[in-house]
Amino acid sequence: MKLAIVFGGSSYEHEISIVSAITLKSVIKSHKLEFIFIDNKRDFYLVDSKDMKSNYFSSKEYLKSAKKLSIVKGGFEAKGLLKAKSLDFDVALNLIHGRDGEDGKVTSLLEFFNIKYIGPRVEASILSFNKLYTKLLANSLGVKTIDYKLLSKDDSRDLDIEYPVIIKPLRLGSSIGVSIVKSADELEYALDVAFEFDNEVLIEPFIDGIKEYNLAGAHSKDWNLSIIEEPQKEEYLDFDKKYLDFARDERVSEANISDELKEKIKNSFKKIYKPLFNGAIIRCDFFVVDNEVYLNEINPIPGSLANYLFENFDNLLNIVATNLPTQKDIKIDYLYINSIQKAKGKA
């Protein structure tokens, strides 16, 4: 299969998307890869496989040597001397983390231009990108989440809360703008930081030493679930740590927990996934408190697609790519307009 990996984007996570793409280049063995880079100006470039190194982007070398692409019906094309040349691939893979990739924008482009892709659909993007909507969704599906308070930029900061708390911008991943606040005198600064990235923030109780478990997977005909990992973390994963996380390519070992707890985590994953996330390989991060499973967050495009959690990642890509959701074909027959014209005596 020929996969076109789309990465970059106008996103705070632009750089980790580059790292993610470079990682997948080394991980994916049995598929042919094309690399489509979206730069900070939202221009598309076709990057040669040999140029997939981080300094090719940080030095802006791509501006000189990568071919510019346009998105067109069914795919991408590069301007040729006489006529445009279209890029040859079977399926695109949305690997843009954060804005553009996970907020439904690039997804919408791919849908609108009728390009087959692996990745969350628009609804799935919005419901996972916004941490409040994730909670509403999970709760409606019978999956528990941590209590929260939503605060807008203009709201009073005179809050009645019990410390410690964790402050999160409503719409970012990768721990950007996230702070743990241990007492009231640290609150102001933490809110300032979070409001740098979003006009709304979530405040949640911070439970030190809480057990966290990650599970990735996809459903296409059958369930393809990864092993359950207990991520190694200190106080919590900060951006630098998570950043390195995006470059992971070595398999990890399964969390040492009871089969019963594994089953609970898997069931929660399945409730969240289907049918909303069809077509995507997602990773859900769960907390466990008193043997109860809580959804912490949904990563609809996890770092390097959480490849390190799967036995046979190439095969998973194949399964997902051959069972993608399709758009309904809507026939427009102008019956209504014709009937109105008839009524008016114009037909």
Binds its own copies (CB under 8 A): choice among 123, 230, 249, 314: 123
When the beta carbons of 74 and 188 are compared against its own copies, the nearer one is 74
Please tell me whether residue 26 binds its own copies under the rule CB under 8 A: no
Is residue 337 part of the contact set for its own copies (CB under 8 A)?
Answer: yes
Give the whole-angstrom CA distance, residue 34 versus residue 237: 31
With CB under 8 A as the contact rule, the residue among 146, 193, 243, 249 that binds its own copies is: 243
Q: Is residue 191 a contact point for its own copies (CB under 8 A)? A: no
CA 56 to chain CA centroid, nearest Å: 24
Both tokens assigned to 271 = 């409730």
Q: Which stretch binds its own copies (CB under 8 A): 12-20, 82-90, 222-230, 284-292?
A: 12-20
Among 65, 108, 267, 312, binds its own copies (CB under 8 A): 108
CB 214 within 8 A of CB 309: yes
- Applying CB under 8 A, the span of 129-137, 183-191, 230-238, 295-303 interacting with its own copies comes to 129-137
238 forms part of the interface with its own copies (CB under 8 A): no
Q: Which of 3, 52, 69, 137 binds its own copies (CB under 8 A)?
A: 137
Distance CA(278)–CA(166), nearest Å, equals 31
Rounded to 5 degrees, φ, ψ at 58 are -65, -30
216 binds its own copies (CB under 8 A): no
**Residue 113 interacts with its own copies (CB under 8 A): yes or no:** yes
117-118 β-sheet, strand order: 85-86, 75-78, 67-72, 44-47, 32-38, 2-8, 91-94, 117-118
User: Alpha helix locations (H) across 8-73?
Assistant: 14-27, 54-58, 62-65
Closer residue to its own copies (CB): 77 or 285: 77
Burial class (CB in 10 A: 0-12, 13-18, 19+), 190: buried
Burial (CB count <10 Å: 0-12, 13-18, 19+), residue 15: middle
Copy the structure tokens of residue 34.
């094309």
Under the rule (CB under 8 A), what is the footprint of its own copies? 10-12, 14-16, 18-19, 40, 42, 54-55, 57-58, 73, 99-100, 103-109, 111-114, 122-123, 126-127, 130, 132-133, 136-137, 140, 152, 199-200, 240, 243, 275, 330-332, 334-338, 340-341, 346
